[in-house]
Structure 1
């Protein structure tokens, strides 16, 4: 019993620290400068930002459960990892612009998570193979990478703040248009 208590007491802080390192996307939360905790190696006036945003998917169910499951929204996560993210900027103005760019990237990741949820909802049927999502997941990641790259080019990685604001507003409007595909939502069934 003591050993069990010791293991629990030892693992609890580790698990708490790991959970504090990852931020789940939430429409009410905006990334803060303090969320960028990776080592910052500042060098000769270079500026850069890396927001470790991820669209993840995983489920565990038996074949019977899988056959009758259509809504996988809760199985798709958009996360930001604090200790893998950084901002390097010489001044506060540049740093603020890079932070806004990272916020747009995080929202862009959620947009593509919603697109993935929508695709799965539309493509899944009772006789789908349990690995039906793999091609869809790959497709979404290719589209997300291309759009993220274009966002970076169009806004000079956030330094063109007016263009970034326009692009970010467009991303948020697209997220709103896919409201049925939020993580907690239950999409409406199509009426034929």
Structure 2
């Protein structure tokens, strides 16, 4: 009986976590209802702020032998959005909608850089590579992401310049398509000798 209760508890915990996390799929579009942090507030405030909680996660656990013979790390790099950590503070609903659109841009940008990270790992990983090379790649990708995000924040005024945001987002979606072999579930083609 204890085993059944434990299994049910684990299934409920996994289900709750799955409902909280959105994995980038190119189809789902963020909505205001996805910003479920208790900090979210529309109206009766004097500032506008956003914390999107979209992130690029890279984690793996394997033996040295497994690492040595693993080339494809696509499944180890995730682009996710956490609803309970995402917040919007906006003076009105119109501004909140601008911020949601900007959050969608950030989510798409995270997927672009997830694909770039997957590709770089794939291209640079050799059979006898030391795990430390991954940190260098990650740091480089993270800096590129941060620079591009900061530029977009500035030139779109956090999404309030809708026309510019649409242009930038269309460019990001186009660039994602340039990495078709580096989605999370994709298997890159083997290099020809």
TM-score, length of structure 1 as denominator length: 0.92
Structure 1 residue 19: deviation in Å? 1.8
| Separation in structure 1 between the aligned mates of residue 8 and residue 124 of structure 2, nearest angstrom | 45
Correspondence 1:64 to 2:68: no
Asked if the contact 2:56–2:80 (Cα under 8 Å) also holds between the matched residues in 1, the reply is: yes
Query: Which residue of structure 2 aligns with residue 127 of structure 1?
Result: 128
Asked if the contact 2:45–2:89 (Cα under 8 Å) also holds between the matched residues in 1, the reply is: no
Asked if the contact 2:48–2:88 (Cα under 8 Å) also holds between the matched residues in 1, the reply is: yes
Query: Which residue of structure 2 aligns with residue 92 of structure 1?
Result: 93
Query: Which residue of structure 2 aligns with residue 141 of structure 1?
Result: 142
Query: Which residue of structure 2 aligns with residue 115 of structure 1?
Result: 116
User: CA offsets, 1:139-177, max 9 Å, x none?
Assistant: 211221121111101100000111101111111111011
Query: Which residue of structure 2 aligns with residue 32 of structure 1?
Result: 31
Correspondence 1:157 to 2:162: no
Counterpart of 1:55 in 2: which secondary structure?
Answer: strand
Query: Which residue of structure 2 aligns with residue 46 of structure 1?
Result: 47
Structure 1 residue 41: deviation in Å? 4.5
CA 1:172 to 1:112, structure 2 compared with 1: closer, same or farther past 3 Å?
same
Asked if the contact 2:41–2:90 (Cα under 8 Å) also holds between the matched residues in 1, the reply is: no
Where structure 2 has 5 or more consecutive residues not aligned to the other structure, the ranges are none
Correspondence 1:169 to 2:170: yes
Counterpart of 2:177 in 1: which secondary structure?
Answer: helix
Query: Which residue of structure 2 aligns with residue 21 of structure 1?
Result: 20
Correspondence 1:102 to 2:103: yes
CA 1:100 to 1:41, structure 2 compared with 1: closer, same or farther past 3 Å?
closer
| Separation in structure 2 between the aligned mates of residue 166 and residue 106 of structure 1, nearest angstrom | 15
Counterpart of 1:49 in 2: which secondary structure?
Answer: strand
Structure 1 residue 26: deviation in Å? 0.7
Where structure 1 has 5 or more consecutive residues not aligned to the other structure, the ranges are none
| Separation in structure 2 between the aligned mates of residue 14 and residue 190 of structure 1, nearest angstrom | 41
